[in-house]
Structure 1
Amino acid sequence: MNLLESLNALIGSDEQSRLSQLFGMEPARARSTMSRIFATLLQCAGRRADQPQWRNQLQEVLQVFAAEGSLPAAMTGAALDDQQGHAPLASVTDRFLKLVFGEQYAVITNALDQVNGTSSHVGQQMLRYGGSLLAGLLVSKTQTDHLDIHKLLALITDHMPVWSAALTPSLNTLITPVPVPQRKRRGGWLGWLLMVLVFILLVLWLLRACDSRQESTQPASAPVAVASAAAVANPLAEAASGVTSALNSVTARLGEFFKLMLPDGTALNVPEHGIESKLVEFIKDSSKPVDKDTWFSFDRLTFETGAAKLMPESEEQLNNIALIMKAFPAVQLKLGGYTDNTGTAATNLKLSGERANSVMAELVKLGVAPARLSAEGYGDAHPVASNDTEEGRAQNRRIDIRVTAK
């Protein structure tokens, strides 16, 4: 059992109910929120584990934690604020969290609040609780399994892909920067292009300087120098243009992320052209009646290839849909599953139905009443793109939503 599985196992049904009352949310949502916090902490810790100074600081913090408390104490909420101001593990847990997140502390905690749909106060308390459980578990490992700091950190670094798979794309982007600049980091690609341009100018200046020195003795070499400058400049300019085009393409697909406010005060972090925006707009617009022709496609929902098992990155959008259902209690939805035309019609019909039911089951886990949902698979019927290309087939493999009551 890896560390994430061990931490998730601590949040059993009884603990889910306790956290539900403590933080004012559905038990299933409390479970998924804590699991996301655990994965975020493990991923951030793994990213810093190769820094010798950081390892020493972690060892010191865990020693303080062991002196002031334990995993059972953390389970009782010893890191959480209470009415009497008794939180014996709060200080050392805050120190642990700041060590794990480093300079990204404010950015990551804010991102967690947005993804989890929690207020800053509730988010901080849940993060403290999760941090105290992780610190307590690490202390327990050192005491019961007699692990030194290197073996302890190996439990984290050896399973980095597991932690990453449990995170939403937005959190992964913050913790694990990718080569291509993303929508939320528009300043980064500008700096990169500036460095490219400076390099190009430097190359041209050096070549021109060489050309000037050679004119008096070897005038015929000048055209070669100019050609070399062009040969260097053109690929670099094309690379810079490619970066810009890729960024524009990503931005154009779903638009910029913004805070979508729901009637109950919940703020969702969603793209302007995503399903959440379209669904809420349709629900709120009284001039748009419920019909059988208006469908909205999930845009950040993925399954394992050829299976009905949802990938972890789907959790963010499913949670958003559940929160929308909570904010609009009269709304009912039908889920439609679709595939491309690869394989037999019978197989596709079966798979599409299983996937639609899988999404419905996840929404029920997130607190949506089963009576408000229905699901049906349509196989390879009703394609939205040509099945002659891979891009078209990918578009046809989808889950759609239709509002049946509002």
Structure 2
Amino acid sequence: MSNLVQTVLGAVGPELTARLASLFGESTGSVSKGLSAAAPALLAGALQQSSTSGGADRVLGLVSQAVTGGNPLDRLPALLGDEASRTSLLGQGRGLADGLLGGSAGPVIDSLANFAGLKGGAAAQLLSLAAPLVLGAIGKALGPSPTASGLQSLLADQRASILGALPPGLGSLFGLGGATQAARGAATATAAAGQSGFAKILPWLIAAAIVLALIFALRSCGQRTEAPVTPPAEPAVPAPAPVTPPPAATVAPQTLTLPGGATISVAPGSIGYGVATFLASNEPAPKTFVFDNLNYDTASNALTPESRPTVETLAAILKAYPNVQARVVGYTDNQGDPAANKTLSDARAATVKREMVALGIAADRIETAGMGEADPVADNATEEGRAKNRRTELVIVRK
């Protein structure tokens, strides 16, 4: 099944992105970044609505409106090339976006503008353009005989990729949690259920223990006291010599050949290995990777010298895949002032981008975001957990 986010973004290639940037009076990078957020935001709206059969029917109605006269995904260059067609597309798209987002349309436009550095009017136009494309992608995926249940199944299957492509914080507008939050909620519910079940049987366990103790005491009182019998001594058996486990095997680096002939030496399990094999596969974007061997000076955004090979490897990979769009996201633990943590995480993500740009990656290919202490992946009550939460992530937004 095709990735809906990737289908929309793939329809707007570099040439059309440059044309839109000229039309909207914005930079190509801002338009590309805004579109990468607008598509999953609209799909999140569809996902939220399709949670009920009535909402799924409404989304199907919007799909029907979008593809009347032909699927916009199949004729986008022509629609954008003619002023009358473009005006009609954007006018229709405004209504479709409102239909998908409802009362969230205004906040989504504001979020797009802040996230991509767009003017409010350009963000609204970009959302209007993306709406028919998103509905066209849904229409293609559903085929010629769409049904409400088919739409619900489609969007449920795409949930992880939609939420993964949303910019940080935007999912809260739709009441949708990320994969980490969902897993955490499930774990909490399971623990609560276990505690509830144990509480029900605890009184019975205590009563049984008391009865057993009384029986044992009564039997002990009625028995004769006899001299203890000392068993004959057994010959001593020497204890076995301690066995020293073999040292853990070190994973040897592998040499991978990138498109264009360049090679990199990376260890399986490292971020370089993960990103390179992902980009060489047919697995759809977006996908998130956590940096390893990437450290900063304490309370600083300055990278340690040992971190440079990791950044250099990723820059080499991105050079070999010039169409890839990425996002660097910084996180901290919950120690200190939340506002200062947010500022620090922003600065750390920006540092990684700056290093990659210095290594030859175009600045408009890399977005950055700082989330501070949000979305912890471990318990902040322990030093080990806090160390895991102080992380930097690389999200491959588009392949």
Q: Provide the TM-score with structure 2 as the length reference.
A: 0.47
- The answer to which structure, 1 or 2, has the higher relative contact order (CA under 8 A, 6+ apart) is 2
The structure that has the greater radius of gyration is 2
